[in-house]
Structure 1
Amino acid sequence: MSRRIWLCADDYGISPGVNRAIRDLIENGRLNATSVMTVGPAIGRDDVNALQAAAKANPHCAIGLHVTLTGRFRPLTLHFRPVDGGLFLPHAKLFRRGLTGRLDLELMRTEVLEQLSAFADLFGRSPDFVDGHQHVQLFPGVRAAFLAAVKEAAPKAWIRQCGRSQPWSQRLGSPKALVLDVLSAQFRTRAARTELAFNSAFAGAYDFSKEQEFGALMQQFLQGMPDGGVVMCHPGVVDEVLISLDPFTVQREREYEFLRSEGFAPLLAANNVTLG
């Protein structure tokens, strides 16, 4: 039987070029989910209307919130801490603070609630799912605040865990994905206690600093992905706004080109996977 998965494009709202690429793929049935940055510079009313119009052409498409607590973006809450020059910290610094117990749970929860509220104001409803920019929902010192906020404001949404489904003996080749596996095990335990639904498995993490052929990576991501799993992707067109905000640029165009290519649909079929 075919396995139905979520192929989710992160970062809608980070730049006009990323937005256009994501909408194009949704309209043509090449994606069935995207997560929106309500703190991004490209999430005005026109961007929201265009995304909703694209989703009408693809009734299987889910639209979620991409909770953002790291990177070159401004918090929505006035008293959020920690910040650097009024902007969120880089993800490595925030992670270290969480490990050492130096994050304020209430400040984190309030910021997540504000981003959930901003999503509801923009789209007129709660998100279908909630995930995190740079996997921040998994961070020590953040995850409890994240889960509490989602439970309060969007209890019917599912949340993204980032653990793989393979046996542990097969997971050692990717250090980045292995870290996500460990963090996700704790995250799933807390999510179950909170009675929030989450995806069955996850794939899509790779070393963005290396030039890699995305079709080969996608083949790896799809292998063994169970029904209800999530494959993360970051398609986009590079523009000046993106360059000013994020170091992950050219690889977005490689992902976009593969996902819109003639080779993508046969790859799904060969792996007995559908988007739905």
Structure 2
Amino acid sequence: MTKARLILCADDFALSRPISETIVALAHEGRLNAISCMSVCPGWTADARLLDDLPAGIEIGLHLTLTGEAPLTDMPEYVPDGGVMPEIDPLTVAAMKGNLPLEEIEGEIAAQFRAFRRATGRMPDFVDAHQHAHVLPGIRRLFLDAVAMHAPAAWIRDCGDRMSAIAARPYRGKAIGSAYHARGLRRAAAQRGLACNSSFAGHYDFNSDYERVFPRFLRRPGAVHLIMCHPGAGELPGDTIAAARLREASALHRMQIADIARAYGLEFGG
């Protein structure tokens, strides 16, 4: 019988050089086995070189970004002032109302796939989105179609889970919200031949003791249990979770992830 598998994925690679360096150091220490990369960021091409000599088994994914950063393409309706893309709350409202410039968003998604390939010479092992924007109405279809076209062998992040599993973990409110927006994603992915993780965790308040809260993320895992994390270092203007990134990184450097995973019936390896 195949044992359930833990994927511990660090999001936001390339958001800043200190974040990227921290993530890569943790991967070399065997504390992570997946890295999700923001190819939209100015430092992406240079930071991608840090990925060249990772240990075998580390999955490299694309963290599609439709919020908070300057786009790679011209988006006169989506970013009318020529600045950064909208934050997740107004984007969610616009998506629920069906009020999005989908042609512009489709072009931006394709551009971020191309930027990933130019820097790495390959397509991603998995695809997700910053702040889970990929599950929103309208964007979801564009996202799934783009993955099927550009990286059909990649798996995608399903932010939902069984209610019994969510209830067993901390910060249920956040997890329920993610699951609500993600409902139906797995079915739509399967219709395009795309795989997903089986269960999902990692929500917390970004203030708690990460080393203490982490084992609770492992309760009621599925066959492929995905936990998101956000380790990092340095200071970045507007980064509201900068302090949490430091705490997560410090905890992960200390934690024996494989041993913790084993205690919950999960295999973990880079």
Calculate the TM-score normalised by the size of structure 2.
0.92
Shift of 1:166: 4.5
Shift of 1:123: 0.3
Instruction: Give the aligned residue type for 1:90.
Output: E
The alignment status of 1:249 with 2:246, answered yes or no, reads no
Match in the other structure for 2:220:
224
> What secondary structure does 1:92 align onto?
helix
| Partner Cα distance (2:166, 2:30) in 1 | 35
| Partner Cα distance (2:89, 2:166) in 1 | 27
Match in the other structure for 1:275:
268
| Partner Cα distance (2:124, 2:112) in 1 | 11
8 Å CA contact retained: 1:165, 1:202: no
8 Å CA contact retained: 1:106, 1:145: no
> What secondary structure does 1:190 align onto?
helix
Cα 1:107–1:268 shift into 2, 3 Å: same
Match in the other structure for 1:184:
182
| Partner Cα distance (1:80, 1:133) in 2 | 21
Structure 1: state its 5+ residue gaps.
Answer: none
Shift of 1:4: 1.6
Cα 1:44–1:220 shift into 2, 3 Å: same
| Partner Cα distance (1:121, 1:171) in 2 | 42
Instruction: Give the aligned residue type for 1:252.
Output: R
> What secondary structure does 1:224 align onto?
coil
Shift of 1:160: 0.5
| Partner Cα distance (1:262, 1:96) in 2 | 39
> What secondary structure does 2:227 align onto?
strand
> What secondary structure does 2:112 align onto?
helix
Cα 1:256–1:84 shift into 2, 3 Å: farther
Cα 1:110–1:48 shift into 2, 3 Å: same
Which has the higher mean CA deviation after the structures are superposed, 151-160 or 36-45? 36-45
Instruction: Give the aligned residue type for 2:10.
Output: A
> What secondary structure does 2:216 align onto?
helix
Deviating above 6 A after TM superposition, structure 1's stretches of 4 or more consecutive aligned residues are none
| Partner Cα distance (2:166, 2:153) in 1 | 34
Q: Give the 5 Å matches for 1:21-170.
A: 21-45=22-46, 47-53=47-53, 55=54, 58-71=55-68, 73-79=69-75, 81-83=77-79, 85=81, 86-167=83-164, 170=167
Shift of 1:226: 2.1
Instruction: Give the aligned residue type for 2:246.
Output: E
| Partner Cα distance (2:223, 2:91) in 1 | 33
Instruction: Give the aligned residue type for 1:160.
Output: R
Cα 1:169–1:24 shift into 2, 3 Å: closer
| Partner Cα distance (1:268, 1:109) in 2 | 38
Coordinate RMSD, CA, aligned: 1.9
Shift of 1:80: 5.4
8 Å CA contact retained: 1:80, 1:111: no
Give deviations 1:181-221, integer Å, cap 9, x for gaps. 1122222222122221111111112223xx20112221111
| Partner Cα distance (2:147, 2:41) in 1 | 20
Shift of 1:43: 1.5
| Partner Cα distance (1:37, 1:162) in 2 | 18
8 Å CA contact retained: 2:9, 2:34: yes
Match in the other structure for 1:199:
197
> What secondary structure does 2:134 align onto?
helix
Match in the other structure for 2:254:
261
| Partner Cα distance (1:168, 1:266) in 2 | 21
Instruction: Give the aligned residue type for 1:273.
Output: L
Shift of 1:153: 1.1
Give deviations 1:3-52, integer Å, cap 9, x for gaps. 3211000000001111111011111111000010011232133x212222
| Partner Cα distance (2:214, 2:166) in 1 | 21
8 Å CA contact retained: 2:165, 2:221: no
Match in the other structure for 2:173:
175
Give deviations 1:101-147, integer Å, cap 9, x for gaps. 10122222211111001101110010000000000111122111111
Which has the higher mean CA deviation after the structures are superposed, 103-112 or 114-123? 103-112
| Partner Cα distance (1:265, 1:153) in 2 | 33
Shift of 1:245: 4.1
Which has the higher mean CA deviation after the structures are superposed, 78-87 or 188-197? 78-87
